[in-house]
Amino acid sequence: MDLPAEELQFLTLTDILKESVSIPKYASKTFYNLTLTLIFPLSFAILAHSLFTHPLFSQLQNPAATPSTTTHPLTLLLLFQFFYLIFLFAFSLLSTAAVVFTVASLYTSKPVSFSSTMSAIPRVFKRLFITFLYISLLMILYNLVFIFSLLLLIFAADTNKPLLFLFSMIVIFVLFLVVHTYITALWHLASVVSVLEPIYGFAAMKKSWELLKGRTRMAAVLVFGYLSICGVINVVFATVVVHGGEDYGVFVRIVVGGFLVGLLVIVNLVGLLTQSVFYYVCKSYHHQGIDKSALHDHLGGYLGEYVPLKSSIQMENLDV
């Protein structure tokens, strides 16, 4: 990001994506190692977990199955899903911490290396995890509201007006999609805030909400595009690799599966880079100047370096 901070606010969606894609070339070895150790396992797990759960689901849905024959596969399924979710959330937070820290180091001209990034992750992870817990509570809340709205519609619907019922269902699903997209954008931006500013948890969510003002539509397009691409990749993987045993040969399924995993790795890496760039765009849009020396010192704190007390760790221009 060679542009002056005050000019970042004028970046379009295309400019943001171009800027994000160009970042790895400034520290290619570091991003290669981060991708190999964090983003690849995450992407592989997202797609490959259905390969393990599909046989278990098939056993549970077998019409000839009895309670005694389904106990073992059900136990395996629950255990697998439990450890899968832990792995998913852990590597998601680790990948976010690593990429955001590395991009910020490049932005402040701080020396970048794989070892320094990995050394900073333990201190960053706690902050991200607390922010993630607050976001999770918010997600649980709006999912409960969504379920309650569906149940209320089902019980209160007039069976003599099917078109009205269908229209109401569509409205609820559209509202759910809009809220889900906004909260996802809020989460990603709050994650960056948790790494680059001395706040996390609810405070990071509040700061993210403030930064999204005026850039909500741009954030929605980025998030919706990311989720749509991931959704298409998952559908193709499930169709060809998981359920395509009768229609596709083993070689085709292996090639398609490998290609889709590689594609998801690229999508996830670009997504993490984009959320970092978008943070700087939002800061510029709200005329919150980023003090590179203060940010440099803030990042050094994750590495155990001395942080001067006079540093403006808020990294904003405050009116006195």
pLDDT in tens, 214-265: 999 999 999 999 999 999 999 999 999 988 877 788 899 999 999 999 999 9
Average pLDDT over residues 104-115: 89
Q: Per-residue confidence at 150, pLDDT binned at 50, 70, 90?
A: confident
Residue of 294 and 64 predicted with greater confidence:
294
Average pLDDT over residues 50-57: 80
Q: What percent of the chain has pLDDT over 70?
A: 90
Check pLDDT > 90 for residue 60.
no
Residue of 8 and 251 predicted with greater confidence:
251
Check pLDDT > 50 for residue 77.
yes
Average pLDDT over residues 35-45: 95
Please give the pLDDT value at position 156.
73
For 1-5, 67-71, 126-130, which range has the lowest pLDDT when averaged over its residues?
Answer: 1-5
For 83-97, 157-171, 180-194, 226-240, which range has the lowest pLDDT when averaged over its residues?
Answer: 157-171
Check pLDDT > 70 for residue 37.
yes
- Answer whether 318's CB lies under 8 Å from 309's CB: no
Check pLDDT > 60 for residue 274.
yes
Check pLDDT > 70 for residue 159.
no
Average pLDDT over residues 145-157: 81
Check pLDDT > 50 for residue 318.
no
Check pLDDT > 80 for residue 272.
yes
